[in-house]
Amino acid sequence: MKVTLQIELIKGKDLSSDEQQAIIKFCSRAFEKELDSLFRAFVYPTHVLGYQAGTLVSHALWVTRRLRAGKGPLLRTAYVEAVATEQAFRGLGYATAIMKRVEEEIQDYDLGGLSPFSVAYYERLGWELWRGSLYIRTEAGLVPTPDDEQVMILRLPKTPDLDINDTLSAEWRTGELW
């Protein structure tokens, strides 16, 4: 018997304080680290929540960021964060269902972006590993990010022609830079 995942889309501003705390606790448990400060850094997130029999079992969110490939224009990017599934529900395709819903919802953006937990996992979903150098834009200029940092992109209908070997930069933000 296949159990259907019920997926809900909700803007962060529409969550009650208790709902926000429940999501943070869920993600902290899934990542096995405290994520309060990370979630406080997200500006206007949109959450995709997966429920099994009324219980939250899978989650992802995106925030709007401005990425720049090389010297190209700033690209309005849906930057995906906090993709998590409760341990007991992993391997059932729930994160994939959540990510497919994210992809459906971000079609009006210039680009999708994320920092992968697994390159192979996201490649299966159509994401591409950015091969060029990564930078953070600050008032003082471009700051290189550590070599172990990885970013993947998802080309969308509005994505211009991009060379994944070029540089990629994002605006500075509090917390995790990518």
Q: Which tens digits make up the pLDDT trace of 10-42?
A: 999 999 999 999 999 999 999 999 999 999 889
- Please give the mean pLDDT across all residues of the chain: 95
Could you tell me which of 67, 80, 97, 43 has the C-alpha nearest to residue 159?
Answer: 67
pTM of the model: 0.95
pLDDT-based confidence at 2, cuts 50/70/90?
Answer: low
Contact by Cβ (8 Å): 59, 97 = no
- Please state the separation of Cα 177 from the chain's center in Å: 13
Both structure tokens of 32: 């096995």
Q: Does the pLDDT of residue 152 top 80, yes or no?
A: yes
In this prediction, residue 47 carries a pLDDT of: 98
Contact by Cβ (8 Å): 123, 153 = no
What is the SS3 assignment for 112-164?
A: EEECCCCHHHHHHCCCEECCCCEEEEECCEEEECCCCCCCEEEECCCCCCCCC
- CATH of the structural domain 6-171, one choice from 3.40.50.150, 3.40.630.30, 3.30.70.3270, 3.40.570.10: 3.40.630.30
In this prediction, residue 4 carries a pLDDT of: 85
pLDDT-based confidence at 143, cuts 50/70/90?
Answer: very high
In this prediction, residue 54 carries a pLDDT of: 94
In this prediction, residue 1 carries a pLDDT of: 46
CA–CA separation, 166 and 71 (whole Å) = 9
Q: Which tens digits make up the pLDDT trace of 59-75?
A: 999 999 999 999 999 99
The arithmetic mean of pLDDT across residues 70-93, rounded, is 96
Contact by Cβ (8 Å): 162, 131 = no
Can you give the length of the chain in residues? 178
Pairing of the two strands 74-85 and 111-114: parallel
